[in-house]
């Protein structure tokens, strides 16, 4: 009987968590919005994309690759929803697709951007996980794209690549540059 009660409690928790963040928002959530928020109401809800501190843009459907845990055995900023505990080292190197982007927290402790993945039921505290190398985003930041574009321009100037190749590379990179 206790076994069924645990399943009931877990199912109820997941259902409440889902409805708790069911408010939809159009547009992007930005690092600045989270940092400047003075109440949870200002940033509550789900978002289609997030513009991170480093300028990278993460959209629902983008993928993140799990890096190394910040401790020897577990991740500090990646939580296994099913176990309700920090994720173990076994997920290192796996790639997960972002399913939800939302903010949680309180006025007195601040707010954190979280991302849920499609498979594996993993919750990621994005900025902290990036800062500690727990995730490696497959999305290029503005600075990374600009550095790569400069590198390609040097190749063009040295006649290592053609103008057509440079234009093709530039067309891809320019969307990341802000």
Give the domain ranges of the chain. Answer: 24-137, 142-176
Check residue 10 and give its pLDDT.
45
Residue numbers in the chain where pLDDT is lower than 50: 1-23, 25
Check residue 155 and give its pLDDT.
94
Letter string b/e over residues 10-29, b meaning 16 or more CB atoms within 10 A of that residue's CB: eeeeeeeeeeebeeeeeeeb
Q: Would you say 77 and 128 are in contact if contact means Cβ atoms under 8 Å apart?
A: yes
Q: What pTM does this model have?
A: 0.64
């Amino acid at each position: 009987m206790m076994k069924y009660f645990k399943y009931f409690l877990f199912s109820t928790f997941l259902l409440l968590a889902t409805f708790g963040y069911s408010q939809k928002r159009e547009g992007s959530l930005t690092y600045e919005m989270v940092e400047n928020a003075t109440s949870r109401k200002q940033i509550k809800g789900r978002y289609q994309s997030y513009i991170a501190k480093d300028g990278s843009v993460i959209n629902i459907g983008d993928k993140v690759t799990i890096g190394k845990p910040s401790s020897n055995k577990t991740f500090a900023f990646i939580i296994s929803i099913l176990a309700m505990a920090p994720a173990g080292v076994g997920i290192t190197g796996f790639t997960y697709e972002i399913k939800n982007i939302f903010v949680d927290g309180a006025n007195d402790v601040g707010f954190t951007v979280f991302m849920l993945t499609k498979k594996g039921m993993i919750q990621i505290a994005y900025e902290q996980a990036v800062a500690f190398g727990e995730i490696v985003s497959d999305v290029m930041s503005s600075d990374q794209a600009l550095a790569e574009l400069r590198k390609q321009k040097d190749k063009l100037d040295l006649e290592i690549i053609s103008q057509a190749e440079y234009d093709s590379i530039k067309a891809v990179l320019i969307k990341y540059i802000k």
